[in-house]
Each structure stands twice: as C-alpha cells, then as structure tokens.
Amino acid sequence: SDDDVQTLLRNFDWYIVPLVNPDGYVYSHTNDRLWRKNRRKVRENGKCHGIDLNRNFDFNWNPGFLIKIHISLQATGGSVNPCSIVFSGPSAASENETQALQNFILANKDNMIAYFTIHSYGQMWVYPWGFKTEPPKDWQDLMLNFLIDNIFVVFGGKVFQQIVGIPMGTNCTPLLADIFLYSYEAEFIQSLVSEGKRYLASDFNFTYRYIEDVLSINNSKFADYLSSIYPSELEVKETTETNNSAGHNVVLRH
C-alpha cells in the first residue's frame, strides 16, 4: 500500500531467490542452529560435511589467499580444510547450488542493474574486494555515506567493524566478474562472545530484534538505491521545525 513501494514494483522487474541452500537450511533447524554450509559429504569417513557456498563462486576463487596483517601473514577468506566452516570446496563452482545461482545471473545479466544479498552471520559491513586487500576506488565515499546514514543506529551498543578481503568468492562476485556491478552487504548478528569465551547458541530467540533491525535498514537502502537509478523529476520532502517555526516542504529537483 506504500506509494514508494508501489512505484518500485511498477518500474522494476524483481527476481527473488528466497533460499539457495535448502539442505543446509533444513539441517540448521534439525541439528545445528548455526550451520552455514551445504550438506555434501566431503570426506569418506563421513565426519566432515559441507562446502561454504559463499566462498565457492567462480570468481578469483582462491582458498589459500594470504594477507599481510601488521608483520605476519594470515590466511583469510576460505579454507582448504574440509572440516572448516568456511571450506571453499574442492574447486571453483563445484557445488550445484553455486552453479544454479551463477547460471541464473549470467543468463539474465543483460537485464540486471542491481543485486542485493542479505546475510545474518557476523556484525560487519562488507564490501569488495574479497580476493585482495585493495578497496574499490569509491570506498571512502561509500563508507562515509554509510556512517552518516546510520550514525544514530545502535545495535546492542556494538560498533560496526569494516573488513576488506574476507569473503573469498562471496556470492556477489559473479556479477562483479561479468557485469562490473559493485555489490555491498551489511551483515549483523548478536555477538556470540561472553567474557572472552566463545559459545554456541542452541536457539535464535535472542536475535529476533536484530533481524528486525537488519530488515529496517535494508528496506530503506533498497528504496534509496533503486530510486537513484531512475529518479523522479521532483521529490517532495516534508520537514518540521521545532524552534517556534512552522513546518514547511522542501522540493528537490533531480
């Protein structure tokens, strides 16, 4: 019923993929609530299962990527260990789920102008590139705008951590490779740290508020981004003065 939402629905064709990892999703509800990989068996002894689909896409796939942090080299991105939660798989795009999404994107690339992906793992603001430490050329403007837009938003007293070069082969990269589209992700979840000791949560009830926060921010971001692609000729904004002044309208011409 919202006029702005109706305008976006009329002006754009939407392709919605609600779930890419059905096996992993079911397993997260029946066994391990924090499971993030798919469920393919990766060792003959059956003790290790799953590939991290976020790190399996065929764009600069390199689980052995190293970055220099201060004076030491540390591995980041994916892992070559089949038992790791960020195991990148035996090869790029080795998984059916990865191939399905890649093929869909490439088949529709000429009609795509934007790609959004929402995650709930990690309290981070993530942007390309994931396969190297150099940031994109406009990263300073993007970070500044993000901070300005969200300066009054507080998530449990936490401060956002900006990271570069972490998600190796993340699921936005097929578009980066083929249609040169930057994709930015905001990822949030309640920190699973208590007095310096990490623990696993058996239930997600305590994170529901954070899910609502994520949706609130992303709903606004989607609308702002799409409106910037095909802006209206006139945009009317109503503001209210509080210092004994009357309310007034501000008209902005694009």
User: What length is written for the chain?
Assistant: 254
As given in the structure block, the two tokens for residue 29 are 């509800």
The candidate with the shortest Cα–Cα distance to 105, out of 88, 94, 93, is 93
Residue 170: is its pLDDT beyond 60?
no
Higher pLDDT, 164 or 80: 80
Q: How confident is the model at residue 176 (pLDDT cuts 50, 70, 90)?
A: very low
For the chain, helix, strand, coil in percent to 5 are: 30, 15, 55
Q: Which amino acid is at 128?
A: P
Whether residue 79 contacts residue 88, with contact meaning beta carbons closer than 8 Å, is answered with yes
**Cα separation of 228 and 99, whole Å?**
31
Mean pLDDT of 194-200: 36
DSSP 217-249: HHHHHHHHHHHHHS--SEEEEEE---SS---EE
Give pLDDT, residue 49. 92
Domain boundaries, the chain: 3-253
Give this prediction's pTM.
0.57
Mean pLDDT of 166-184: 37
In angstroms, the Cα distances linking 40 to 57, 59, 68, 87 are 16, 21, 33, 12
**Cα separation of 123 and 187, whole Å?**
6
Question: Topology of domain 3-253, per CATH?
Answer: Aminopeptidase (3.40.630)
Give the Cβ contact number of residue 122 at 10 Å. 16
**Cα separation of 123 and 144, whole Å?**
18
The pLDDT tens digits of the residues spanning 83-105 come to 888 888 888 899 999 999 989 88
Give pLDDT, residue 138. 72
CB-side neighbour CA atoms (13 Å) of 39 = 13
Q: What average pLDDT does the chain have?
A: 63
> CA geometry: angle at 29 spanning 216 and 55, to 5°?
70
Residue 166: is its pLDDT beyond 70?
no
The pLDDT tens digits of the residues spanning 106-161 come to 888 888 887 777 665 555 556 666 666 677 777 777 666 666 555 544 444 444 44
Q: How confident is the model at residue 206 (pLDDT cuts 50, 70, 90)?
A: very low
- The full 3-state SS of 80-138, as one line of letters, equals CCCCCCCECCCCCCCCHHHHHHHHHHHHCHHHCCCCCCCECCCCEEECCCCCCCCCCCC
Residue 196: is its pLDDT beyond 60?
no
